[in-house]
Structure 1
Amino acid sequence: MGHITTPPPPPAVFRIVDLFAGPGGLDVAADVLGHQVTGIEWDGNACATREAAGLDTFRGDVRAYRAAFFPRAQVLTGGPPCQTFTVAGHGAGRRALDQVVGYIDRLHEAVRTADGDWKRIFRTWRAISEELRRKAVLAEEVKERKRGIEARRAVTRKALQRALEDLGTPGDEIRSVLKSSRAERNLDLKDEMLETLVVEFDTLGVELHECRQQLEELGDERTGLVLQPLWWVIERSRRPGSNAYEAVVLEQVQAVMPVWEKYAEVLGTLGYRTRTQLMLTEAFGVPQTRKRAVLMARLGETEVSEVAETHERYRSRNVPSGAPTRGRAEPPLWDLGEQSTDRSPKAAWVSMEAALKKARGIDPELPDRPAFTVVSNYGTGGDPGARGRRDHDVPSSTITGKVSRNRLCHKGTDIDLPRFERFAPAEAGVLQSFPVSYPWRGSDRSQQIGNAVPPRLALHVLRQVLEPGLGHEEARARAEQAVSDLENWRPPSEPVRARTHGDLAGHPLTGR
């Protein structure tokens, strides 16, 4: 009698709510894994893309929704805005980070000491929300005053410039005066009208500086948005009649890692096993170097393991032969001494050329370029004239909202490629690991692409967190199939209309 092998049961299907969902990087990854995902997104352009991609969407500010609106969601994911943390360690970014960490500590203290008293926890959240609201209102008032000062100073600046020109002041001296925060220090004030203009110019400069300081102290209203996922987890875990999320996955730029580590402390108190991981996108098959800070959590006793890298890390090359001397190769983005503990064989990182060639096999309309060098819109090493450069046969630099400004030149030169001197949205999406057929819609498509979660990275994270019981070979086969499905994904023939706050009734996650 032959041996009958019973195939393993298919992985469980999870219902996911994705906060700050963007154009759908995590959502399309969840879709190819077979999960049901609903995203909340305020940006109309990103919502237009999501509609064309057939992704279930609620349009609006995350703060207008609550975890209680979606009681059937089993998993929470998200990537709150990161702009205020990208300069963490310097000035406003450091203060924003410290402020959020302080709010998290307050919430954690309430959770630890409330002894199940939901009203006490909620009062803490309401106090934080009101504090943030007052700061946002005051910040708008300061911004309005700042705009008025800037308009008046611009008029005064022109009048001062004309007065100096009439007196025969050399051009370089005029420029120096107009750039100075205290013009009077650079002038011999003998003309009465000139003195009046200089005093007014300097006074407005002082007022402008005070406004900027106030705005830094008040912080950006987006700073408070990073607290939203944590509050949703707390609400589902402590609000009477609610069931805690089975899993949580959050990702953002590297600067947000201290926030995720604080989150992990609170989630531990709420009964989750957690792990934070700094992930290098090219080490997971994304044809781009990019660092992402990821928080993963499972409710109960299931350990959350590190997501094993599938590809080699990229090491920056030296300046290519023939490269213009005014540019230079991009420096390494991290210390390669920081090695993964995983020692299993890895594939080579994926180059721009390899990714775009595979995409052309799916969509022959993509341009077939000769060997090229990407010249970044950004300067490197603090020198605006020294543009970062990457050749076609290595991974792309980090894809940002300015990807459409990057120039494509003949390899090793500064000579633009005719007709194909910029990446099309479909190509930029491919370098972010989106399917080549992803239907980018609306305006600011480069910004949508640059802000998105790389789907291939999201795929590996979701598979690891939501399917922890798979064996090594089964998990690898599952991931390989999902990657293939992602690359060959196609949008539906008909778009899906995004819902609004008033369209909760009848939705699968609402129970209404």
Structure 2
Amino acid sequence: MHRKGGNATPDRRLHFKPMSHIENAPPSPAVFRILDLFAGPGGLDVAADVLGHRVTGIEWDKNACATRSAAGMDTFYGDVRKYRASFFPHAQVLTGGPPCQTFTVAGHGAGRRALDQVLGYIQRLHDAVRVENGEWKEIFREWREISEELRLKAELAKEVKTEKREVEARRGEKRKALAHNLKERGSSPREIKEFLKTLGAPQDLDLEDDELKRLIEEFSALEDELDGFKVRLEELGDERTGLVLQPLWWVIERSRRPGSKPYEAVVLEQVPAVMPVWEKYAEVLTTLGYRTRTQLMLTEAFGVPQTRKRAVLMARLGGTGVPEVAETHERYRPRNVPTRPSATDQADTLLWNAREESLDGTPKAAWVSMETALKKARGLAPHLPDRPAFTVVSNYGTGGDPSARGRRDHDAPSSTITGKVSRNRLVHQGTDTPLSHFDRFTLAEAGVLQTFPVAYPWSGGDQSQQIGNAVPPRLALHVLRQVLEPEATHEEARARLEQAAAALETWRPSEPVKIREHGQWAGHPLTGR
């Protein structure tokens, strides 16, 4: 079930200096046992490993589990909602990145409605926690009510989706009939396409014809019906709403359930659109006794050869606060844009007002380019391709124009690595001429641009999607070190990060491990059974 995929990198082709993961690194002040919800292929796990901590992940994607198994990452397979915090009483730190794609839906206010729903549920949980110091029975009753509401909405949404598919099938048949009718009347393919898109009639078309009128009216009625289904589904929300609430509920359960011990720290990350959720989370965590910080982090400012924004929530129990995570590298500014945003781009102004020095006063390193990262990887794995100067042509459009593909030269950081990274084309720099060889990134190279070790054993199916969905391990290094080692001096922190980053690059997987499933608690260090 958890076999290595054909694209996994065989160890015999890699050339490493034998070493432990953190040889010569300053020792960690403490070894934490981390429970990682929605763990993916192991971006946070490999970062925690080189820092000397122990991680157990919960993941429901079998492909990601195959990679985790090959990488030796301790894992429970299944839906996070089928597990409970009380199953893992010895976990000291909770981390995770719940799927939140619904918050980024463009148009029609769908993303805003999904966000408002989640914020409303968080407020209900917060109110329950605050009332009379949060009586556990009342808190649990509120959670059960929320869970039941979400279950009923999910069932109704499933029924609506079934009806919607039936209407879509009828619309498809009507569309074909209408296109055929228009073709027989002499309309060109372009006119037919435009008509079906806008229902704007081609010139000289006789709309008084009874058959054509009937087809148009029936097609329009089906379009209106589908619009109605879309509105209903937006109102019902998405099953991922419940997943977004899971980390908060696990923290509440460990903090308020009799006999439980609170987590010592919490780290959550997601896309920038989720920042309002983390800020609302922070209010609840503050009530539970945590010191919190939310931070929008630009990955290239932490040594990742890729531009990507992540919203991060960090929390520690008790009096020790969480300082801002200091940027170690310069932020990337494309050559063809101004040095700072216009007055109308207020949302990005803070991101552009970068310090020339880190918080501790040391100069920042230059951002890392694709070529620099790939060249270093080739030193460890000589079989990786050595290309001439290239430009990456993205699978995605820019500026709202799907045909205007984004472009990034080899001597710059990569654009955001997504699950479609294998579709990006590599052309000779400054041209549209494809490279004659290796005109796509290999899976190992895509992983390196996410700062995974070149030896990471990508396995299972849909490996590009696994890579695109993962948290960059180098970013996770900075966040985990900051949250779990708050007393470190600037010098100690810098030494820890430098040694851990070097160990991350040369990391090799241990022996493959068997993925556990729900109920297989015996002998696991976090379960105590």
Q: Taking structure 1 as reference, are residues 171 and 393 closer, same or farther at Cα in structure 2, changes over 3 Å only?
A: closer
2:352 pairs, out of 333, 337, 342, with 337
Indicate if the aligned counterparts of 2:28 and 2:51 stay in contact, CA closer than 8 A: no
Q: C-alpha distance in 2, partners of 1:505/1:499?
A: 10
Indicate if the aligned counterparts of 1:182 and 1:202 stay in contact, CA closer than 8 A: no
Q: Determine if the alignment matches structure 1 residue 112 to structure 2 residue 127.
A: no
Classify the secondary structure of the residue corresponding to 1:503.
Answer: coil
Q: Determine if the alignment matches structure 1 residue 504 to structure 2 residue 510.
A: no
Q: C-alpha distance in 2, partners of 1:182/1:103?
A: 44
Q: Determine if the alignment matches structure 1 residue 129 to structure 2 residue 147.
A: yes
Q: Taking structure 1 as reference, are residues 404 and 10 closer, same or farther at Cα in structure 2, changes over 3 Å only?
A: closer
Q: Determine if the alignment matches structure 1 residue 81 to structure 2 residue 99.
A: yes
Aligned equivalent of 1:355: 373
Q: Determine if the alignment matches structure 1 residue 387 to structure 2 residue 402.
A: no
Q: Taking structure 1 as reference, are residues 116 and 212 closer, same or farther at Cα in structure 2, changes over 3 Å only?
A: closer
Indicate if the aligned counterparts of 2:88 and 2:527 stay in contact, CA closer than 8 A: yes
Q: Please give the residue correspondences for 1:252-263 in structure 2 after superposition, counting only pairs within 5 Å.
A: 252-263=270-281
How far did 1:181 drift?
Answer: 5.5
Post-superposition Cα deviations, 1:302-325, rounded to whole Å, max 9, x if no partner, equal 111111111111111129xxxxxx
Indicate if the aligned counterparts of 1:432 and 1:454 stay in contact, CA closer than 8 A: yes
1:94 pairs, out of 107, 112, 115, with 112
Classify the secondary structure of the residue corresponding to 2:186.
Answer: coil
2:288 pairs, out of 255, 262, 270, with 270
Q: Please give the residue correspondences for 1:33-432 in structure 2 after superposition, counting only pairs within 5 Å.
A: 33-87=51-105, 91-180=109-198, 188-318=206-336, 334-335=348-349, 336-340=351-355, 342=359, 343-432=361-450
Amino acid at match of 1:82: C
Q: C-alpha distance in 2, partners of 1:10/1:163?
A: 74
Q: Taking structure 1 as reference, are residues 195 and 476 closer, same or farther at Cα in structure 2, changes over 3 Å only?
A: same
Post-superposition Cα deviations, 1:272-314, rounded to whole Å, max 9, x if no partner, equal 0001111110111000011111100000001111111111111
Aligned equivalent of 1:325: none
How far did 1:87 drift?
Answer: 3.7
Q: C-alpha distance in 2, partners of 1:8/1:393?
A: 33
Classify the secondary structure of the residue corresponding to 1:16.
Answer: strand
How far did 1:382 drift?
Answer: 1.2
Q: Taking structure 1 as reference, are residues 112 and 88 closer, same or farther at Cα in structure 2, changes over 3 Å only?
A: farther
Classify the secondary structure of the residue corresponding to 2:255.
Answer: helix
**Equivalent residues, number:** 494
Q: C-alpha distance in 2, partners of 1:50/1:425?
A: 16
Classify the secondary structure of the residue corresponding to 1:502.
Answer: coil
Q: C-alpha distance in 2, partners of 1:117/1:158?
A: 61
Amino acid at match of 1:236: R
Post-superposition Cα deviations, 1:149-170, rounded to whole Å, max 9, x if no partner, equal 1111111111111122223344
Amino acid at match of 1:194: L
Q: C-alpha distance in 2, partners of 1:487/1:172?
A: 53
Q: C-alpha distance in 2, partners of 1:43/1:368?
A: 33
CA-atom RMSD, angstroms? Answer: 2.2
Post-superposition Cα deviations, 1:39-85, rounded to whole Å, max 9, x if no partner, equal 00000111100000000001101000000000000000000002111
Q: C-alpha distance in 1, partners of 2:205/2:184?
A: 15
Indicate if the aligned counterparts of 1:425 and 1:445 stay in contact, CA closer than 8 A: yes
How far did 1:502 drift?
Answer: 2.2
Listed as ranges, the gaps of 5+ residues in structure 1 are 1-6, 320-330
Indicate if the aligned counterparts of 1:184 and 1:199 stay in contact, CA closer than 8 A: no
Using structure 2 for the length normalisation, give the TM-score: 0.90
Indicate if the aligned counterparts of 2:100 and 2:274 stay in contact, CA closer than 8 A: yes
Amino acid at match of 1:508: P
Q: C-alpha distance in 2, partners of 1:278/1:465?
A: 15
Indicate if the aligned counterparts of 2:100 and 2:270 stay in contact, CA closer than 8 A: yes
Amino acid at match of 2:177: A
Amino acid at match of 2:89: P
Using structure 1 for the length normalisation, give the TM-score: 0.93
Indicate if the aligned counterparts of 2:88 and 2:526 stay in contact, CA closer than 8 A: yes
How far did 1:114 drift?
Answer: 3.9
How far did 1:187 drift?
Answer: 6.1
Listed as ranges, the gaps of 5+ residues in structure 2 are 1-24, 338-344
